[in-house]
Structure 1
Amino acid sequence: MDDDEDPSAINRYPDNNDSSLYLLFANRSASGTRCQHTDWDRCEAIRIQEMHEARDRAAQMEKIMRWWKDCTAEWREKWLVVKEERDEAREEGSSYKKLFVETKAKLDKIVPEKIVLESELEDTKNTLREITMDQLRRDVLEYDDDRRRNESSAEKDELERAAQLQKNANLERLLATSQETIKRLEQLSKQHKEQIKSLTEKSANREKELKEELCKLKDQYEPKEEKLSKTFSNGMSLNK
């Protein structure tokens, strides 16, 4: 008995090599009655040890359940925050996308109008130039014809000079008016081009800003979604 091991939860009866105890165990197993040996102190120690182990397991299980409850509550709270941020990001992205589509539609509508206005302005300049040149040619031809007809007499020459002076004055006024009109048209064309250029730059800048904002939203949303997926995976692994 001196070489026997101490009793434990695994080896409740360490002196199982003893032939007498072996017979007692065999009789107990055969009859289904309680153990007949008299080592009650050892049995009581084993019972107390098993009771302490059961209490330790229960306390550990309670700690695990509390920890799991806290983890679940914290995960749910974080999930609600991430979900709200995700919904806000989606709504903001949708509004920016809608604004981008509207701005692009306005820009697409302005471009054809710009082309039409440029074409009309060019046609107007060409028409005015043709009218001015034709009028000058007709005036010069008329002046030459009148001068040839009136060369026979001085009176006719005097009348011709007076008419020529009048025509020259009219031509000068016409030329001045034509030049002013051309300058005015050129100024209007320049202003119109500047306005179109400004509108185009504003539209391009706005489109660029919208694209940058969409990229920022995407960059903000992807880490949140990745964090959410990682949190969800951790939660699932904890559940398992």
Structure 2
Amino acid sequence: MDDKAPARPSRRAVLQAGAATGLLVASGVPTMVREALATHAVPDTASSLPTRPVTLRINAAMYELSLDPRTTLLDALRHQIGLTGSKKGCDHGQCGACTILVNGRRINACLTLAVMHEDDDITTIEGLASGDTLHPMQAAFIARDGFQCGYCTPGQICSAVGMLQEVRAGWPSHASQDVAAPMARLTDVEIRERMSGNICRCAAYPNIVAAIHDVAQEA
């Protein structure tokens, strides 16, 4: 009995097989296959979906749009309106780069549809400043150097603004020792927990926490 392993194909055999495949392509066989598949193709209905008119109030301005109902709020902001401050990171609600404020509450714009927000007051990073005067959180991030590449920064700032509003409203967090008691002071642990949905891949977290502390103390 021969125990030798089967011989591997030679380089010449591989080249010959490749040449044969090339001849089949040149002979028109793939064309025949494509024609056969075309007769059984599934019609493309995605491009034929009707759009619908949508009016959004963003940063105190009204925008009248015509959108595919499946358009996310993030894509409407970036592609239809041109407000590119809100960033698309993971597009799955995991990184927080697209965080904006809707009726004062922070949300991930990539996880909601634009058509759901016609009666809402939407604020993006572009709408936080008052003219040439920066929002206190924006100024604090600059003063504390709370960013490096800056990609996550708009979401971090919007999230921090919304987070402080939650604290003022008495919302507890998973780090709260007593969820029924009013918070005596905003600790580093509380800030890190409440901002845990916003990822900074440059790891500027200590400076972000410091910036939030500054604004919280001034408020």
TM-score normalised by length of structure 1: 0.17
Higher helix share: 1
TM-score normalised according to structure 2 size? 0.18
More strand by share: 2
Between the two structures, name the one with larger relative contact order (CA 8 Å, sep ≥ 6). Answer: 1
